[in-house]
């Protein structure tokens, strides 16, 4: 049986109040070691206050070929942006 440790994706919350962000990956035998390794490589210079580790195999990703069907439809929906609407100055700040 292969003894290669599985791959994990590491997410770090940089500061209180911010989202966790993907910072990279690492190999670890289990979740506990993944957190320890993430501490050792990705938070060496006060980069974070919290770590998430997710097995890379468990990540579900959209396919590059789906880019058009998935993301193009929002191009035509400019009314989703507040700048689409002209609010008269007389109405005051909105």
Partner 1 sequence: MYAQMVKTEAKRVKSREEMTPEEAAFQDRIEAGEKIEPKDWMPEGYRRTLIRQIGQHAHSEIVGQLPEGNWITRAPTLERKAILLAKVQDEAGHGLYLYSAAETLGVSRDALIAKLHDGSMKYSSIFNYPTLTWADIGAVGWLVDGAAIMNQVPLQRTSYGPYSRAMIRICKEESFHQRQGYDILIKMCLKGTPAQKAMAQDALNRFWYPSLMMFGPSDKDSVHSAQSMAWKIKINTNDELRQKFVDQTVPQAEYLGLTVPDPDLTWNEDKGGYDFTEPDWAEFYAVLAGNGPCNRERMAARVAAWEDGAWFREGLMAHARKAAKRGVAAE
Residues that bind partner 1 (CB under 8 A): 2-5, 7, 23-27, 29-30, 33, 40-41, 44, 61, 63-64
CB of 33 to partner 1, least distance (A): 7
Taking the least distance from each CB to partner 1, the nearer of 7 and 54 is 7
Residue 61 burial (CB < 10 Å; 0-12/13-18/19+)?
exposed
CB of 71 to partner 1, least distance (A): 14
Q: With left for phi above 0 and alpha for psi between -120 and 50, is residue 50 left, alpha or beta?
A: beta
């Amino acid at each position: 049986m292969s003894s290669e440790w599985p791959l994990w994706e590491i997410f770090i919350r940089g500061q209180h109040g911010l989202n966790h962000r993907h910072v990279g990956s690492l190999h670890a035998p289990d979740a506990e070691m993944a957190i320890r390794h993430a501490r050792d490589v990705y938070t060496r210079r006060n980069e974070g206050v919290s770590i998430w580790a997710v097995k890379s195999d468990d990540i579900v990703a959209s396919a590059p070929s789906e880019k058009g069907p998935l993301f193009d439809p929002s191009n035509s929906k400019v009314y989703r942006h507040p700048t689409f609407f002209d609010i008269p100055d007389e109405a005051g700040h909105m």
